[in-house]
Amino acid sequence: MENRNNITEFILLGLSQKKEIEVLCFLLFLLCYIAILIGNLLVMISITCSQLINHPMYFFLSFLSLADLCYTTTVTPKLIIDLLAEKKVISYNGCMTQLFTMHFFGGIEVFILTGMAYDRYVAICKPLHYTLIMSRWKCDAMIAASCFGGFLHSFGQFLLAIVLPYCGPNEIDHFFCDVYPLLKLACTDTSRIGLLVIANSGLMGLVTFVVLLVSYAVILYTLRSYSAENRHKALSTCSSHITVVVLFFAPLLFIYVRPATTLPEDKVFALFYTVIAPMLNPLIYTLRNMEMKNAIRKLWCHVMGSKDIN
């Protein structure tokens, strides 16, 4: 492969070329990003400032909210600014940095979701050994492993993109830098690189998704022996997890579990796992969870009480 690179910046074509649609999208995604910030920060602070932080499920949930917040921040602020910009430009270094950080935090989220599924499996299928298996140091180790796994995944994607020669054109038909759109701009044969991308992102996502589905199938089978009240409580928690998993993995698999090509629908599906899922996750985990509602209520009362004293 000839090592040449004449590109110093890329032009992002964004979501639409029509100004009226871009203005409407600007208002919509600005509100979405504000909701993401408020929702995920509220979940993180409510868990950290309460006894829920000592429970593995909520311990993982606080880190999931942090991963969501970091993940969407790698893409959404740039998207919002570009919707009002005449020319949507990102430097070569900025593009590679965005690709690395997005896959890093996305990988962390995938592994944290796996950890949360394992937590529910242990709690429901092995309740007598739950406190021994899900000890704090093991939870810390799982978070550390999630970060390491996210780094390995991201570094692999980053290497595949950075070794490619780019000599023009420099227009990326997307609203952020990702591997598949960059493969189209590379002035070399990228068929082998495309297979490596599928193996890294697509295969990892597919295997993880199948493992999650199997674990929840085992959980649902085990719940048959539970009382109606306990079954309802466990199903309420598991249904929240399953909803989050489907919202995140379904569009992700649509994009990465296929040959290295780009489709017009990719932008819409990418919005689901970069903006929509991080915005809905706090709602999904709090609306049907009484403990989270109580933690948020106590935090609100504490804040309002402090204001009254001042």
- Give the pLDDT score at 291: 80
Please name the residue that has the structure tokens 């993109």. 161
Cα 228 → chain centroid: 33
Flag whether 203 is in a domain. yes
User: What is the C-alpha to C-alpha distance for residues 144 and 146, in angstroms, rounded to an integer?
Assistant: 5
Lowest mean pLDDT among 19-23, 111-115, 202-206: 202-206
- Give the pLDDT score at 71: 95
Over residues 6-18, the pLDDT tens digits come to 788 899 988 888 8
Range of the domain at 15: 9-306
The closest of 152, 103, 48, 123 to 252, measured between CA atoms, is: 103
CB 7 within 8 A of CB 167: yes
Over residues 216-226, the pLDDT tens digits come to 888 888 888 77
CB 81 within 8 A of CB 132: no
Q: Name the average pLDDT for the chain.
A: 87
DSSP-derived secondary structure letter, 172: E
In the chain, the number of structural domains is 1
- Give the pLDDT score at 306: 59
Q: What is the CATH number of the domain that holds 186?
A: 1.20.1070.10
Average pLDDT score over residue span 47-74: 93
Instruction: Let me know if 155 is exposed, middle or buried by CB neighbors in 10 A (0-12, 13-18, 19+).
Output: middle
Please give the backbone phi and psi of residue 259, each rounded to the nearest 5 degrees, phi first.
-55, 155
Task: At 41, list the tokens.
Answer: 């920060």
- Give the pLDDT score at 1: 40
Could you give the 3-state DSSP secondary structure of residue 188?
coil
Asked if the bond preceding 259 is cis, omega within 30° of 0, the reply is: no
Flag whether 26 is in a domain. yes
Average pLDDT score over residue span 169-198: 87
Which pTM value belongs to this model? 0.89
Task: At 295, list the tokens.
Answer: 């933690």
Flag whether 253 is in a domain. yes
Cα 246 → chain centroid: 12
List all residues 6 or more positions away from 173 whose beta carbon is below 8 Å from its beta carbon. Answer: 13, 181, 184, 262
Flag whether 1 is in a domain. no
Work out the end-to-end distance of the chain between its first and last CA atoms, rounded to an integer number of angstroms: 67
pLDDT at 261 exceeding the cut of 80: no
Flag whether 2 is in a domain. no
Over residues 100-158, the pLDDT tens digits come to 999 999 999 999 999 999 998 998 888 889 999 999 999 999 999 999 999 999 999 99
pLDDT at 241 exceeding the cut of 90: no
Flag whether 296 is in a domain. yes
Residues β-bridged to residue 172: 12
The closest of 138, 185, 183 to 11, measured between CA atoms, is: 185
List all residues 6 or more positions away from 26 whose beta carbon is below 8 Å from its beta carbon. Answer: 80, 83, 84
| Residue 142 C-beta-side C-alpha neighbours within 13 Å | 25
Flag whether 3 is in a domain. no
pLDDT at 99 exceeding the cut of 90: yes
Over residues 29-40, the pLDDT tens digits come to 999 999 999 999
User: What is the C-alpha to C-alpha distance for residues 300 and 291, in angstroms, rounded to an integer?
Assistant: 14
Flag whether 4 is in a domain. no
- % of the chain surpassing 90 pLDDT: 41
